[in-house]
Structure 1
Amino acid sequence: MKHPSGHYTCSVICIASLMLLFTSCSKNDKESKDLTPAPNVQEMTNYLVNQGFSEQQIVFGKDRVVIESDIIITLAELEQRVATWKKEHQPGVPQTEQRRGTYIVSNVYNTNIKFYIDPAVPADWKTAIQGAVDNWNAVNGTRLGMSIVANQASSNTRIFMGFENANWIARAYLPGSAGTPGVSVEINSNFNGLAANKKLFAITHEFGHTIGFHHTNQLSGTLIPGTPNVDPNSVMNSTVLPWNGFTAGDVLATQILYPQ
């Protein structure tokens, strides 16, 4: 996710923006340099570029890849996606807006996606998390549901605090290829002073990543048919804004991906 100053700050993260955008940061750059490249790193990079991600915004770490600053995929999951993609010979993606990833959350999980909040998460972020759950639950005409649970073992997605002196607010994992929600959302404590309405936007955005949405103002993912080509106030844009509700495009996209 991207800060209004124009610098990258936020993957939902799913995570998914916010959004100060899943773009490069010094720590991840160091991880990339320290990593001995596996033989399939180039193949994984080619796959991600084919999906519309910019190669300059792909950072490989020891066991994961961070894309556009706030979208995370484990290397094991990425290898599985590459194998599936090669088998199915998927074509290139359209270059427009209201975008989804290859995988969304299956019906086994999507009526009640369970979030666990680590005890170290500050109260104001917990308020934003509850607000984000309420936001997604209030979208009419979908089967999508979310809740907060007290036991990590019973949850689908863990929300925890991290710290990096970098311009991402939060970041999240995308859904797994087995239809599971993104496994975690990490919040950067470097932005604990962010305004409450921007915290709410950021967490709502990252939850969008955990259920399969990509950034609406980037070229990755696949256009969701029937959604607008331009939606500057979409919650899935990569720049953090004060929360002002979902756009009509956000609602329609959710209804298409998770119909009742």
Structure 2
Amino acid sequence: MRKKTHFCVSPLALLAIVASLFLFSCSKSNDVPAVEQPDAKVEALISYLEGKGFEKNKIVVKGDQFIIDSDILISRADLEARVAEEAKSGPSDEHRRGPYLVSNTYNTNIRLYIDPAVPAAWRTAIQGAVANWNNITNTRLGMSIVTSSANSDCRVFMGFESASWIARAYLPASNGRPGVSVEINSNYNSLPATQKLFAITHELGHTIGFYHTNQTTGTLIPGTPTTDANSVMNSFVLNWNGFTSGDVTATRILYPQ
């Protein structure tokens, strides 16, 4: 989930030091996460993601995490499992969704644990977002907030980065479990309550398998509009104004009663 911002990057500068040439890339380092040099296996995983429609310049590798479009997180282990699974059975052929959804074992009661460090305003937004998803009728999808991390499926916690993402979340795993976490960027603690609510509702959408509606990544869900500017799964934060009919239809299709 990102805010519409513009960033200026200064040109590359060549510095001569002790008769040797060193190349420095000068950019706003607080806007771009540290990127590890990809090895051959990582490059293969990036190619797999490109084959799913993601743009390579929007894929960041950070440790064992793949960060896509700033707010979608996939672990390397899960990505490797996806590749292996598709090698056996082929990709899923089915608003937009990813290749995996939350299985019936978990999708009637996805349990969220809110870290104690989460401020009251964000906690209110999380509670409101859970209510938003629970209020969609004619779907088996359900969520709840629990008080024990040991009994939870998804942890919501605070992070900080001087960057354009407001919050980010994991997609469902290949084993049918929901996305394991939602991280909120405390750099946006001053965001209006209505935008906090939109942002968290959006991130919970990622944890159950939805991609961004205003981009071409993922598989189009049959029966939903190809464009839906006010969808909760728009990649830019909006003021919360309820789900669109496309949001509701998509949820009912992916998680029917």
Give me the TM-score of the superposition, normalised by structure 2. 0.88
> How many angstroms does 1:4 deviate by?
4.0
Higher relative contact order (CA 8 A, sep 6+): 1
1:161/1:187 contact within 8 Å kept? yes
Root mean square deviation, CA, Å: 1.8
Higher strand share goes to which structure? Answer: 2
> How many angstroms does 1:113 deviate by?
0.2
1:65/1:73 contact within 8 Å kept? yes
1:193 counterpart residue number: 190
CA distance in 2, matches of 1:139, 1:124: 24
> How many angstroms does 1:82 deviate by?
1.4
> How many angstroms does 1:219 deviate by?
1.4
The amino acid across from 1:130 in the alignment is Q
> How many angstroms does 1:184 deviate by?
0.3
The one-character-per-residue Cα deviations of 1:119-162 (angstroms, maximum 9, x if unpaired) are: 00000000000000000000011000000000000000000000
1:154 counterpart residue number: 151
Aligned length: 237
2:5/2:164 contact within 8 Å kept? no
2:168 is paired with a residue whose SS is strand
Identity of aligned residues (%): 61
CA distance in 1, matches of 2:31, 2:3: 19
1:257 counterpart residue number: 254
- Structure 1: unaligned runs, 5 residues or longer: 8-24
The amino acid across from 1:47 in the alignment is Y
CA distance in 1, matches of 2:214, 2:72: 14
CA distance in 2, matches of 1:150, 1:170: 21
> How many angstroms does 1:26 deviate by?
4.2
Match of 1:212 among 206, 209, 212: 209
CA distance in 2, matches of 1:201, 1:88: 36
CA separation of 1:127 and 1:176: change in aligned 2, threshold 3 A: same
2:31/2:164 contact within 8 Å kept? no
- Structure 2: unaligned runs, 5 residues or longer: 8-27
1:43 is paired with a residue whose SS is helix
2:77 counterpart residue number: 76
Match of 1:164 among 161, 164, 168: 161
Give me the TM-score of the superposition, normalised by structure 1. 0.87
2:139 is paired with a residue whose SS is coil
CA distance in 2, matches of 1:4, 1:38: 32
1:201/1:243 contact within 8 Å kept? yes
Max Rg structure: 2
1:17 counterpart residue number: none
